[in-house]
Structure 1
Amino acid sequence: MPIVPDRGGDQDDQGAARWSGPLFHDAQEPPAPSPEHGSEPAHGPARGDAGTTPGEQPTVPPAPQRKRAGRDLRAAIGVGLGLGVVIAVSLFVQKVLFLGVITVAVVVGLWELTSRLAERKEIRAPLVPLAVGGAAMVVAGYLRGAEGAWVAMALTTLAVLVWRMTEPPDNYLRDVTAGIFAAFYVPFLATFVALMLAADGDGPQRVLTFLVLTVVSDTGAYAVGWKFGKHRLAPRISPGKTREGMLGAIVFAVVAGALCTHFLIDGGTWWQGLILGFAVAVSATLGDLGESMIKRDLGIKDMGSLLPGHGGIMDRLDSLLPTAPVVWLLLVIFVGAG
């Protein structure tokens, strides 16, 4: 999972994250103090040569603030390294263990998403059939391939429709629509990680390539955007993202893609990695923007607070989920299903 601080936060014009002001840049800044709150009237007492009244100390302009990250960087790195160890150990020791990691992440992500929908919009997407169906999707995808994942998705949709019938009919359509969206957005997209894992021979290496490219893309966007970002990419959705950061994501990802496909993927070549890296940079950025749209609509900064320095599980899955089917498909085209 990406261990860099979230790129979705507000930033100033130089790209530094800024959490002390309004939640979003298009929010209204607090009004300046009026004269009756202690300001000098327009025609107040005469001032001295230094622009001060007798006995008043000269006003010293505040020093410019340094760029700083918007989150606890130490906590973010510590939690990210811990997650990385869990992922690496489970991925290369036993595939079933990593399958369990995917399932836990899916269930927790569904809980965060449905909780925020209920809190902010009073949308009651049924969690129980979503959690059970989501776990079934991941396992079915690993054991039975894409066909198994689609069957599990269909059964989960049916379960959501029936489960919601136990409550009053008010807002039934709204709730089941949100439930079907949650089923597709979290567990179904995560199923493509299980499909990569199931590949004979280099399954763990495919998953590692997918994770590395997404992390590198996020890191490149954050580093380049923080240092050189001036032109915002999508200011109405995520003011912190810049065109320079997007370029950094592409450069970092294509280099990492060439290395990963050459050294990790059976039958892969460096030029395939260039295409893969570019696709990952685009899909990861779109995934980030997509969740930013959801959070803006809900009026929240994070989906949860489970991971110190990162937010919630969904705040770490935002770029991973839409990238999984992209990497799976391109690897199937380039080297086969395995």
Structure 2
Amino acid sequence: MGGGPGASSGARPPTKRGGRDLGAAVGVGLSLGAVVLVSLFTYKPAFLVVIALAVVVGLWELSSRLAERKLIRLPLPPLAVGGAATVVLGYLRGADGVWLAMALTVLAALLWRMSGPPEDYLRDVTAAVFAAFYVPFLASFVALMLAADDGVQRVLTFLILTVVSDTGAYAVGYRFGRAKLAPRISPGKTREGLVGAVLFAMAAGAVCAEFLIDDGAWWQGLVLGLGVAVSATLGDLGESMIKRDLGIKDMGRLLPGHGGIMDRLDSLLPTAPVVWLVLLAFVGAG
């Protein structure tokens, strides 16, 4: 009755898709979601800490990959400290705090790099300025949203719409995708998937604007959803371009089944300023 070693145990290897362990991916995704939602709904400063930690880890991943693949030496200590400060000052002092922290972060990075050899100084500090704007600056718009009176609802709307946009793109693209959107950058993305992202995000935007945002209206949510679908897609394509240039599949290995923190922030980072700006235009700073 035996069918070889282990045949009677009924054990099956973890289901995989695209080389990833789906069981681990789901578990990690649920855990991350729980941390985000619990901190967001429990205590605003706790969620602020989550943002700051994500920024620091994201900068570390970006710095590691640039050093490994391009020999670019980012001045990580001032970027990490300044990046966390940018998020905190955005919450405490608004846009003025963000710009002040960014200016000091860039200045500190320039000075820190001066302690190393002069070779490739311009290359390294240029990459440092890019990293400062790509990660902490964009993330600071989440802190700006959080600071509003209905900040929890604004951040929740931002998260929901980004996830719904990504889900709509995947679901429609998987079922109906034929025409490639940007085959040289991300072969899996299709124009049909983009349409799905737009439709899903606009529908979710209408619901969120009507029921979550103070003084919001459903038609404003349609505009918001359109903006999120476009920015989330461009953010995903942007990080895909970076990873192709570096010759890597993932920015890190911290999250089993997902890659790194930056692989989860790719669509969130560029979407944050879009959501903040649209809400500012329609309902004010809060």
Q: TM-score, normalised by structure 2?
A: 0.93
Alpha-carbon distance between aligned partners in 1 of 2:228 and 2:19, rounded to the nearest angstrom = 25
Q: Deviations over 1:17-63 (max 9, x none)?
A: xxxxxxxxxxxxxxxxxxxxxxxxxxxxxxxxxxxxxxxxxxxxxxx
2:118 alignment partner, one of 137, 156, 169: 169
2:174 partner letter: W
2:89 partner letter: A
Q: State the 1:230 CA deviation.
A: 1.0
How many residues align structurally?
A: 271
Q: Deviations over 1:138-183 (max 9, x none)?
A: 0010000001100100000000100000001000000000011000
1:289 alignment partner, one of 213, 220, 237: 237
Alpha-carbon distance between aligned partners in 1 of 2:17 and 2:79, rounded to the nearest angstrom = 39
Q: Deviations over 1:259-316 (max 9, x none)?
A: 0011100000000000000100000000000000100000000000111111100000
Q: State the 1:70 CA deviation.
A: 4.8
2:53 alignment partner, one of 81, 104, 119: 104
Partner of 1:305: 253
**1:143-222 aligned within 5 A:** 143-200=92-149, 202-222=150-170
**1:71-86 aligned within 5 A:** 71-86=20-35
Q: Which is higher, the Rg of structure 1 or of structure 2?
A: 1
Partner of 1:328: 276
Matched, 1:266 2:214: yes
| Residues 1:92 and 1:336: Cα distance change in structure 2 (over 3 Å) | same
Alpha-carbon distance between aligned partners in 2 of 1:294 and 1:69, rounded to the nearest angstrom = 20
Alpha-carbon distance between aligned partners in 1 of 2:123 and 2:99, rounded to the nearest angstrom = 23
Partner of 2:8: none
**1:87-126 aligned within 5 A:** 87-126=36-75
Q: TM-score, normalised by structure 1?
A: 0.79
SS in 1 for 2:20: coil
Q: Deviations over 1:91-139 (max 9, x none)?
A: 0110000000000000000000010000000000110000000001000
SS in 2 for 1:166: coil
Q: Deviations over 1:301-338 (max 9, x none)?
A: 00001111111000000000000000000001110000
| Residues 1:68 and 1:163: Cα distance change in structure 2 (over 3 Å) | closer
Alpha-carbon distance between aligned partners in 2 of 1:108 and 1:222, rounded to the nearest angstrom = 27
2:184 alignment partner, one of 217, 233, 236: 236
2:190 partner letter: T
Q: State the 1:79 CA deviation.
A: 1.1
RMSD: 1.0
Runs of 4+ that moved beyond 4 A: 67-70
Partner of 2:12: none
Gaps of 5+ in 2: 1-15
Alpha-carbon distance between aligned partners in 2 of 1:305 and 1:257, rounded to the nearest angstrom = 33
Alpha-carbon distance between aligned partners in 2 of 1:261 and 1:337, rounded to the nearest angstrom = 15
SS in 2 for 1:240: strand
SS in 1 for 2:187: strand
Alpha-carbon distance between aligned partners in 2 of 1:256 and 1:182, rounded to the nearest angstrom = 31
Q: Deviations over 1:178-229 (max 9, x none)?
A: 01100000001000000000001x1000000000000000011111111111
Partner of 1:60: none
Alpha-carbon distance between aligned partners in 1 of 2:208 and 2:113, rounded to the nearest angstrom = 45
Q: State the 1:74 CA deviation.
A: 2.1
1:89 partner letter: V
SS in 1 for 2:188: strand
Relative to its length, the structure with more helix (as a share) is 2
Alpha-carbon distance between aligned partners in 1 of 2:25 and 2:162, rounded to the nearest angstrom = 17
| Residues 1:161 and 1:68: Cα distance change in structure 2 (over 3 Å) | closer
Larger relative CO (CA 8 A, sep 6+): 1 or 2? 1
Partner of 1:130: 79
Partner of 1:248: 196
2:284 partner letter: G
SS in 1 for 2:117: coil
